[in-house]
Amino acid sequence: MSIAEVHSYRAQAARGTLVVIGGREDRSEELLILREVASRLHGGRLAIVTVASTQGDELYAEYQGAFGKLGVEVVQLPIDRREDALDPAKCKVLEGAGGVFFTGGDQIRITSELGGTPACDMIYDLHQRGGVIAGTSAGASVLGQVMPVSGAQDDSARVRDQLRLVPGLGFVRDVIIDQHFAQRGRLGRIIGAVAQNPLILGIGIDEDTALVFDEYNAFTVVGSGAATVADGRGVTYTNINEADSDHIMSVFDLRLHVLSAGDVFDMRARRPALSRQHVSEPDEPQKSAASGREGPSNGARAS
């Protein structure tokens, strides 16, 4: 599937939901975030994709235990290399699946081994048909349109440390998703990505925190941390395009939202809101535009 096809695919309203997790979600106690995944699985098994990790079997066993407590039957997608992803027999587990869960590891392993394969097409198709797609850590970043690839120093504002972006699987359009956000001090990396093309919205998700996307392209924050949204549309100046990548980044007038559990973000209007009911529906474009100008849609609580 080419990038253009991914766009046209995404332009259709996918019926499935997405659960995008910032890493290190609780897998043994309350299972708050995994419960969100389970509740969106309307029949069928949950296919665990461990290709990102070199400890795939151990990770699979851990999720098998956690989802087992929630009454969810899981199956490991037996794909470790690209030749597996091209083998119809190995993709068969996706046929009866009701959802897919991408584990952590190295995000570029997911896209390089899975991107553009029949296995990947089956996952898009599953999402179209209403399946839930979830991912944590590296598995979260691949859900965006582009994804950051680890530089040596996450915290750096040096331009050359910002530039490693790779196309993601595109389940969420016009977005770059970073994870372990507060824990690894990744503000510089997300701002650098946004400054390169402010069309792209940057979202940094803390550990044990998730974005639950509904079918209208709005997400609700769940979990014990925050989600930070960096909107560069209003940026008035950046030096990120200068040839010398050894300089330090300048970005003026970035808009930042820090969202906590229960907060909602409307991706189409690019506006935060205090609850789902204040997000515009697709057939209400004017309400959406208005909320974009006037701050959070819940006027009563806005200061």
Q: In the complex, which residues of this chain contact a copy of itself (CB under 8 A)?
A: 155-157, 182-185, 187-188, 191, 206, 224-226, 228, 230, 235-239, 247-261, 263, 272, 274, 295-296, 298, 301-303
Task: Indicate the Cα dihedral angle 284, 7, 38, 229, nearest 10°.
Answer: -70
Nearest to 191 by CA among 159, 218, 168: 159
Beta carbon of residue 209, minimum distance to a copy of itself (angstroms, whole number): 8
User: Smaller CB distance to a copy of itself: residue 112 or 224?
Assistant: 224
Cβ at position 2, least distance to a copy of itself in Å: 29
Between 77 and 227, name the residue whose CB sits nearer to a copy of itself. 227
**Minimal distance, residue 273 CB to a copy of itself, in Å:** 9
For the CB of residue 257, give the shortest distance to a copy of itself in the complex, in Å: 5
- Indicate the residue among 2 and 236 with the shorter CB distance to a copy of itself: 236
Which spans in 22-157 are helix H? 32-39, 56-69, 82-85, 88-91, 107-114, 118-128, 138-141
Distance CA 154, CA 25 (A): 21
Closest of 26, 230, 219, 42 to residue 136, by C-alpha? 26
**Strands 45-49 vs 97-102: parallel, antiparallel or unpaired:** parallel
Cβ proximity to a copy of itself, 116 vs 151, nearer residue: 151
Q: Distance (Å, rounded) from C-alpha 210 to C-alpha 222?
A: 5
**Min dist. Cβ of residue 294 to a copy of itself (A):** 8
User: Which CB sits closer to a copy of itself, 98 or 198?
Assistant: 198
Nearer to a copy of itself, 97 or 176 (CB): 176
Cβ partners under 8 Å of residue 57, min gap 6: 50, 76
* Min separation Cβ 239 and a copy of itself, Å: 7
Positive or negative: CA dihedral 226, 298, 219, 166: negative
Tokens 């050894």 locate to 246
